[in-house]
Every structure is written in structure tokens, then in C-alpha cells.
Amino acid sequence: MNIKNAKAVLLREADLPRADRGNGASTTRFVSRACGSQSMLNGITTIPPGGAIPLHYHNCEESVLVLSGAGFAVVGDDRFAVEAGDVTWIPENLPHQFRNTSDIDKMRIFWTYASAGATRTMVASGETHTIDAEHGA
């Protein structure tokens, strides 16, 4: 896409598909190559009470903002308690995961990858997919 022909878009969570992340977690992707982005991806992941996103890493930097809920983030060898309003910055290729410690409330995180071609590699299996592939784009 030629940047001169690019147009701004408005994306509404309720209008976008959700990707199942397993164990009750789901992700809605917002900004991506599908809407014209050349250099970033972002979206929201919802983690159910007591749930977690499996340990994984990306081929680019990532920033995560906790929108609601509380729990902890494991980033490399560190473990951080997180709550609404907290932000993490995660370097590329550093394994990480988010866990919801509530028994009743969902945890919602807003993530941004520093590449429109971001990939996710699952530590347990070594399996790698592009974020776009996870959302059928």
C-alpha cells in the first residue's frame, strides 16, 4: 500500500472477530496490515478468571497495557504483579506470559507489536505463527 493512498480507519471491538487462544482466553486484533498498517499491530486479549496465556515470545518488541483485572506478568526471569493501568515493555525474543489471579473477574490487556509482521512462538511446542494467521488474515 502506498502511504499517500492510506486512509485512517475506526475499528470497534464489537464489530471485529475474536480468535480463541484456548482455555477461555480470546483475542481481538485491531490495527494490522488488513487496515493498512505498515509497521505495527495491536489488539485486546481477554483472560478468564484463573486463566493464563501460555509462555511465548515474539520476533519484535511488544508493549502491554492492563486495561482491567489483576494478576502477574512473567517476563524472562522476572515476575511482576500487574493491575489496571500498568504497562510492560517486552524486548523481542523474550519469553513472557500474563496470568489472571482473580477467581471472578476477567483480565483484559491491550497489546501493541512493533511490526506488522509480528510472530508468536509458543515456548512449549516451538510452534511459530504470524499474528495475522491467527486471525485469518
Q: For 27-37, how does the pLDDT look when each residue is reduced to its tens digit (9 = 90+)?
A: 999 999 999 99
- Tell me if 31 sits within 8 A of 132, measured CB to CB: no
What parts of the chain have a pLDDT lower than 70?
1-4, 135-137
- Tens digit of pLDDT for each residue in 40-57? 999 999 999 999 999 999
Q: Residue 133: what pLDDT?
A: 78
Domain boundaries, the chain: 17-134
Q: What is the DSSP string of 4-38?
A: GG-------GGGS-EEEEETTEEEEE-SSGGGT-S
Homologous superfamily (CATH) for 17-134: Jelly Rolls (2.60.120.10)
- As given in the structure block, the three cell numbers for residue 15 are 464489530
The CA distance from 48 to 74, in Å, is: 17
The cell 486479549 sits on which residue? 45
Residue 1 pLDDT? 47
